[in-house]
Structure 1
Amino acid sequence: MLDFNTVPINSSYVLTAIDHLMYQVYNDQISNEHLKYALVDLVPAFKVFYRNDLSYVPSIQGFKNIIAAIDEMLSFQPYDQMIHFNDEDMSYLSIIFRESLHGMQAYISQHQSQEERNRKRLQQYLTDLTEHYSKLLFVRVDLGYLKEEQYQVDVGVFQQHMNAFRSRLANQDGCFSNLQGYAWALEEGATKGLHAHVLLIYDGHKHQQGYGLAKSVGEAWLEITGRSGMYFNCHDTDYIKKFEREGTLGIGMIHRNDPQQVINAINAAMYLVNPEKGFQYLRSKIWRMRTFGIAQFEKGNRRL
């Protein structure tokens, strides 16, 4: 069952929970008794957040078919009456589930394939950059929303905020000046909600301090979101020391003549598009919404 006492109800939490439930049913990992109680929570919660103008992943689309079947079975009774469904009722629902899960595995495979293509694009992009410049400052910051504000943030609001953020990137004003490249990836989780991982690559001859830049970028995000946002500065001292001890630090100043630094930087950046993370994809999107992007690398326009 969903625990709305510890996690404020919001669109991401509900859609992620539905996605997990459909995955459990698909893999026969949930009993009928647990399924009934999960449905008692999820069906009314889904109706609160469902929007006709959004496109949903197959698991969420399939859940709509299940709700239609449940509404017919209940004949306008409250949804908590689902706990009284007998074996025959659950057998019928099981058939609806199976029909509704059609295309789910294909979507997951397609998503993983797209992530792999994005990884190759990003790897080549970063290779081109690190070969072209003698030193670059790699800055990482994660952008999201305060837990108590997530109920107000759906994918449409998130897109508006990211559009404003990407406009700042393109204009290269303020803390985005002297950028030589960037990459970003949008994700969604049950507790983090909608969030973005951002990699900013600055001219190492003009910027040297990653922490201060990441802080300024985070403050820009707070301004864009009207202070409903939050950010994580990946250049936090304790966070940096952890990777230094492991010899895998891939942010900060990266020198072309230090192959290990370059390898670490590229490996660390791959986190943005890691198909192994699973369940971090967006469950809903607006029309033509992209979830990953990198700047263009045009060697002819770059300084030698």
Structure 2
Amino acid sequence: MPYSHLNQPLVVANVHSLVTDILANTISFNETMDKLNGLYYPFMNHLNTELFYTQPVLAFFSSTQAIVGDTYPENVIWDHDKTKRFINILSCYKNDIENERQAFIYQESYNKRELKNYVHSLINHYSRLLFIRIDLKYVKETSHHVSIEDFDCHMRKFRDLIGNKKTCFEHLQGYAWALEQGGIEGGLHCHLLLIYDGSERQNDWYLAKEVGEKWKMMTGGLGEYYNYHDTETKQKYEKNGKLGIGMIYRDNAKKVENAVTSALYLTKPSKHEQQLKLWVPNMRTFGHGIYRTPKRRGIIS
């Protein structure tokens, strides 16, 4: 893999995966040595002390620095001896890495409960809701132009658009989003759930397309999206009895159950390998709207 052509998010994702593979004993010694020689220089070249990193990435940095010190990264060659020392030192960080994983699982479990309550509140209030699921991501061929700062900026602007409830977000009654990053591919992406008043909005495929095209435009063409609402995909879920997107009627218990299940995909505690591997200060990775009963058809909380 041409590591020198990867941007910071992708390099960091590769470093994260390398460390977890080493500690899980799923990578050979020679492959570890090869990856160290490929990743160390681009990682150090992209290192930014103003960003936050996962524990595996911090363990990589600390372990390598304990061995090579202030040697210029371009002059470091990871031979058999250095690689062996690196692996040995890395084992000292097992507890820190496991503690972070447990903290992630705990936070995701909390987010899951919060999202479940939020979605049920909306379903209990409206007789029908249009559920839209879409993944916002970046074109693979040009993703090396996207930094974590860019991603954060794009998502902040996009959430502002959602909050304004204009154009394709008109009649939006609820929403949730989760930021993630792939493993070895390191792709930054957002799982987005949009919930519209079903008496005002009907065409789910077209609406999802509008949202996706707005994302592409806002990212200057760097973005792309996945629309779950094409006929083939929906028929596949329908056939398996798991269709939970599109129009959801409150009195259809099975569809309601499917809709909640689909929404909760945004907060799966088992997806710890999909967590962001780096982030900017105060960067939010999950959120949903607020259900305010006093503003809804005169209902008093």
TM-score range (shorter-chain normalised) is over 0.9
Aligned length: 297
Correspondence list, 1:236-255, <5 A:
236-255=230-249
Distance 1:32 1:272 in 2: 36
Equivalences for residues 19-34 of structure 1 within 5 A: 19-34=16-31
Instruction: Note if 1:85 corresponds to 2:52.
Output: no
Fraction of identical pairs, as percent? 35
Runs of 4+ aligned residues of structure 1 deviating over 3 Å after TM superposition are 72-79
The C-alpha deviation readout for 1:258-293, integer Å capped at 9, x for no partner, is: 111100000111111111223100011111111000
State whether residues 177 and 286 of structure 2, in contact with CA within 8 Å, keep that contact through their aligned partners in structure 1: yes
**Secondary structure class of the residue paired with 1:238:** helix
Could you tell me whether the CA contact under 8 Å between 1:187 and 1:281 is conserved in 2? yes
Query: What is the aligned partner in structure 2 of residue 4 from structure 1?
Result: 2
Q: 5+ unaligned residues in a row in structure 1: which ranges?
A: none
Structure-2 change in CA distance of 1:115 and 1:77 (3 Å):
closer
Give 1:46's aligned residue: 43
User: Which residue of 177, 198, 211 corresponds with 1:217?
Assistant: 211
Q: Deviation digits for residues 208-246 of structure 1, max 9, x if unmatched?
A: 010111011011101110111101111022211110110
One-letter amino acid of the structure 1 residue matched with residue 284 of structure 2 = R
2 CA distance for matches of 1:244 and 1:75? 58
Distance 2:232 2:74 in 1: 54
* Deviation at residue 66 of structure 1 after TM alignment: 2.4
8 Å contact 2:16–2:56 — kept in the other structure?
Answer: yes
Name the counterpart of 1:68: 65
With over 3 angstroms needed to count, the CA separation of the structure-2 counterparts of 1:48 and 1:236, relative to structure 1, is farther
Choose which of 189, 203, 224 in structure 1 pairs with 2:197: 203
SS at structure 2 position matched to 1:279: helix
Superposition deviation, residue 90 in structure 1: 4.2
The equivalent of 2:140 in structure 1 is 147
Aligned to 1:111: 104
Compute the displacement of 1:62 (Å). Answer: 1.4
Cα distance in 1, alignment partners of residues 189 and 140 from structure 2: 12
Is residue 2:254 matched to residue 1:260?
A: yes
Structure 2 residue matching 1:275: 3-state secondary structure:
coil
TM-score by length of 1: 0.92
Alignment match, 1:58: 55
1:176 and 2:136 are equivalent in the alignment:
no
1:18 positional shift: 1.2
Q: Tell me if the contact between 2:129 and 2:247 (Cα under 8 Å) persists in the aligned partners.
A: yes
What's the TM-score once normalised by structure 2's chain length? 0.93
Residues 101-127 of structure 1: CA distance to partner in whole angstroms, max 9, x if unpaired?
A: 441000011001111111111111111
Distance 1:85 1:219, change over 3 A: same
* TM-aligned CA distance change 1:240 to 1:48, over 3 Å: farther
The offset of 1:42, in angstroms, is 1.1
